[in-house]
Amino acid sequence: MRIAFTALLLSAALGVVAADPARAAWADYKDEQEIFAVLHNEKGEVREVKIWIVVLDDHGFIRTRNTSWRADLERDPKAALKIKDKEIAIRPVPVKDPELYKRVNEAYTAKYGVFPHIFLSIMRPFLGPWNVYRVEAR
């Protein structure tokens, strides 16, 4: 019984240690101003789109409105982010929690400033609301 309990504690500790490097990797990119989404359209053609990223709580977040590349992001099983000449395969997870959605948008304003948001606010009726995604490495 004692051996089983020790093994359980050890495996839990190793699980936490193993999880930290993957999550901490996003913190390495918190100061990046521009990155690229590498996406494949319905025909399989590769497209690179310059985007922005913010990092909150050791998670990367990207966002888009109803843009031409949003459907590719959601559909593409080969989606990736190119950051510092490194390509990271990702799975975008839509942010549904209203509080997290608000925090991510506030982080974008803090990082990139108010001016881009003023312009995009004017365009909002045409582009729709922000679609915010937490990015997970695949």
Query: Tens digit of pLDDT for each residue in 42-86?
Result: 999 999 999 999 999 999 999 998 888 999 999 999 999 999 889
At residue 123 the predicted structure's pLDDT band, cuts being 50, 70 and 90, is: low
- Please check whether residue 29 is in contact with residue 54, taking contact to mean a CB–CB distance below 8 angstroms: no
Q: What is the pLDDT of residue 26?
A: 93
At residue 15 the predicted structure's pLDDT band, cuts being 50, 70 and 90, is: very low
- Mean predicted confidence (pLDDT) in 19-24: 46
Three-state SS letters, the chain: CHHHHHHHHHHHHHHHHHHHHHHHHHHCCCCCCCEEEEEECCCCCEEEEEECCEEECCEEEEEECCCCCHHHHHHCCCCEEEECCEEEEEEEEECCCHHHHHHHHHHHHHHHCCHHHHHHHHHHHHHCCCEEEEEEEC
List domains and CATH numbers for the chain. 27-137 (2.30.110.10)
Q: What is the pTM of this model?
A: 0.76
At residue 9 the predicted structure's pLDDT band, cuts being 50, 70 and 90, is: very low
